[in-house]
Amino acid sequence: MKKKLLTIATLAAVSATAHAADASSVPTLSQVLGASDLNVSGYFDAAYSDMNTTGLFKNATANTAIVGGTAGNSHIFDTQGATTAKNFSAFNLHQAAITVSKQPKEGFGGLVNVTAGQDAATIASSGLGSNAASHSFDLTQAYASYTSGPLTVIGGKFATLAGAELITSPSNSNYTRAWMFGWGPYTHTGVRATYVASDMVTLVAGVNNGFDQVNSATGGKTGEFAVDLTPSSMFSLATTYYVGKGLVGATAGKGSYLDVLGTITATDKLNFVFDYANGKQDNASLAAGNILNGQSLAAATTTNAKWNALALYANYHFNDQWRVSYRNEGFDDKQGFRSGISQKLKSNTITVGYMPQKGFELRGEVRQDKSDQSVFLKADGTSTDKQMTYALEGVYQF
């Protein structure tokens, strides 16, 4: 009997060991993806925002969602659903995004990036649906790539090179976006070639349909050129230039957009960023209701439009958990082509970030905006030249 029990126990132990070995030999999903050179990442971004205005410009209609250069929301992303009847106060499900990519050092690869949430309507390109403002999902990037040595060529839909701020929420140091981000390009559809000439110099050239157009609205094409310089570990300078017909939307005239972005890394905890943009658009379309030189346009018209902007950033990390970021921005919309009102805007933003654990950050923010015109719509129907925003955001990356 003892022998029989001993035999059963031995068989059970062997069986358990075998099952454990089988279980340990089954690869995890991350191991499978890693072995195939396939990378998957994503994030979730939600916030609460409160303003002492409606979050709209005075020439906006209720529930306006900003698309391109149309009149509407006084902020980018964080005032979706604003109405003319009340001051803005809302929880916002901004973005839930995922990126799947395979980008080997040599040969063919590709990337697909999908964004869901409120922000999808703003970043949606023309040509991906009959009504971009109603999008809750956006195919933000989708391109194939080929790499050979220092040269990489991509073709499809991809993020712009211009600007300090990005669509992806975790990549930005502030919660609210700068006007120059919102009224600049988000994505381009076309072909881009990147050549790494040295550790200090990278060159980029390409051709695309213009700003945020999967299908070219005019049939015109836009050239893309960039030079990235990194003369030292403390300083980098990226200059990007877009030029062509149909640069912005259905406007047929020639346009250009220059962006100069510099980063100064003073210490491992402190860095400064400056971002300057200058845009021009011939034969620019101004919609009825746009405010030009203080007067509301009774009918749509065209003009040669110019705008420029400058944003300055200072970022300081106290430790692995706490940081603070400051942004100062000025935006001069001379003909109102980008904001819907010819005005000079200024803003000051302070953001405190706290990361209780890796991959998750809470951000608290205070922002003050000012215009040289009385443009920020109040709930009582009057307007003011100042507005305040208070916000709390949570960003989780995986």
* Confidence at residue 136, expressed as pLDDT on a 0 to 100 scale: 86
pLDDT higher than 80, residue 9: no
| Average pLDDT value for residue range 127-147 | 82
> What CA–CA distance (Å, rounded) separates 195 from 189?
19
**SS3 assignment, position 5:** helix
Verdict on whether the full-model pTM lies above 0.85 = yes
> What CA–CA distance (Å, rounded) separates 204 from 242?
11
Share of the chain above pLDDT 70, in %: 87
User: Domain locations in the chain?
Assistant: 40-397
| Average pLDDT value for residue range 18-27 | 51
Dihedrals phi, psi of 5, to nearest 5 degrees:
-65, -40
Question: For 57, which DSSP code?
Answer: B
* Confidence at residue 222, expressed as pLDDT on a 0 to 100 scale: 95
Using one digit for the tens of pLDDT, what is the confidence trace for 64-77?
Answer: 444 443 458 999 99
> What CA–CA distance (Å, rounded) separates 145 from 152?
7
- Look-up of token digits 């933003």: 349
**Mean of per-residue pLDDT scores for the chain:** 89
> What CA–CA distance (Å, rounded) separates 82 from 60?
10
Instruction: State the pLDDT confidence band at 338, using cuts at 50, 70 and 90.
Output: very high
**SS3 assignment, position 325:** strand
pLDDT higher than 70, residue 55: yes
* Confidence at residue 285, expressed as pLDDT on a 0 to 100 scale: 87
Half-sphere exposure of 298 (CA within 13 A, CB side): 0
Using one digit for the tens of pLDDT, what is the confidence trace for 216-262?
Answer: 888 889 999 999 999 999 999 999 999 998 788 777 789 999 999 99
CATH code: domain 40-397 is: 2.40.160.10
